[in-house]
Amino acid sequence: GENVEQHPSTLSVQEGDSAVIKCTYSDSASNYFPWYKQELGKGPQLIIDIRSNVGEKKDQRIAVTLNKTAKHFSLHITETQPEDSAVYFCAASGTGRRALTFGSGTRLQVQP
Amino acid sequence: NAGVMQNPRHLVRRRGQEARLRCSPMKGHSHVYWYRQLPEEGLKFMVYLQKENIIDESGMPKERFSAEFPKEGPSILRIQQVVRGDSAAYFCASSKESGNTIYFGEGSWLTVV
């Protein structure tokens, strides 16, 4: 089955700096890569996703890049704000009837 | 348009009791997924269901756990004879079709005492 690895496990940045979280996946058939943000006591919230026919996608301060050859994808958050502090999860899924496989999460702390 | 609704949000059970967690998917969604999250850990897949069908239960423990998604009504995750190790947050998610965007509920926190 699919295996997703995520790094780093914790990340501390100063407000206004950029944050980058990286994930690798094992199943070359995977073609859908979402990112979720989870705040304490709440459910994961989808923040951006990318499909394998696209190399990069942006939504305001958030961008995701995908390298299918290397089987890795990354989340980039620019101009970080204290409210970006949360745990971020990457995930991957393949074609057919498959659920998402999640990475282990990155705890992002934005220092004001 | 209401999101994925889970109840109860918090549930306390004594060892040996049964826990039933309910999930109503987003309107128009017929695919439901259950995930478990232990404290300070990631999301582990348990089961994937479509109306009246279990599509993938490879992440479900073989004993004590069962799930259903009937033609009418919410999806139910049932845990029989709970043990302390079952204490976790259980998240339900739904999608319109397989391969579509998956949206999560706010979770049900189970505490076994």
pLDDT at B68 over 60: yes
CA–CA separation, A97 and B84 (whole Å) = 32
Phi/psi at B99 (5° precision): 90, -10
Tell me the residue type at A92.
Answer: A
Interface test with A, best of B45, B54, B95, B97 (most A CBs within 10 A): B45
CA dihedral B29, B33, B34, B39 (to 10 degrees): -100
Inform me whether the C-beta atom of residue A46 falls under 8 Å from chain B C-beta atoms. Answer: yes
**What chain A residue is nearest to B55 in terms of C-alpha separation?**
A97
The tokens for A42 are 């709440």
How many Cα neighbours within 13 Å face the side chain of B113?
4
Q: Which residues of A touch B42 (CB under 8 A)?
A: 89, 102-105
**B18-40 confidence digits (pLDDT tens):** 999 999 999 999 999 999 999 88
Strands (E), chain B: 5-7, 10-13, 19-24, 31-37, 43-50, 53-56, 65-68, 75-79, 88-95, 103-104, 108-112
**What's the pLDDT band for A14 if we cut at 50, 70, 90?**
very high
Q: Which residues of A touch B58 (CB under 8 A)?
A: 1
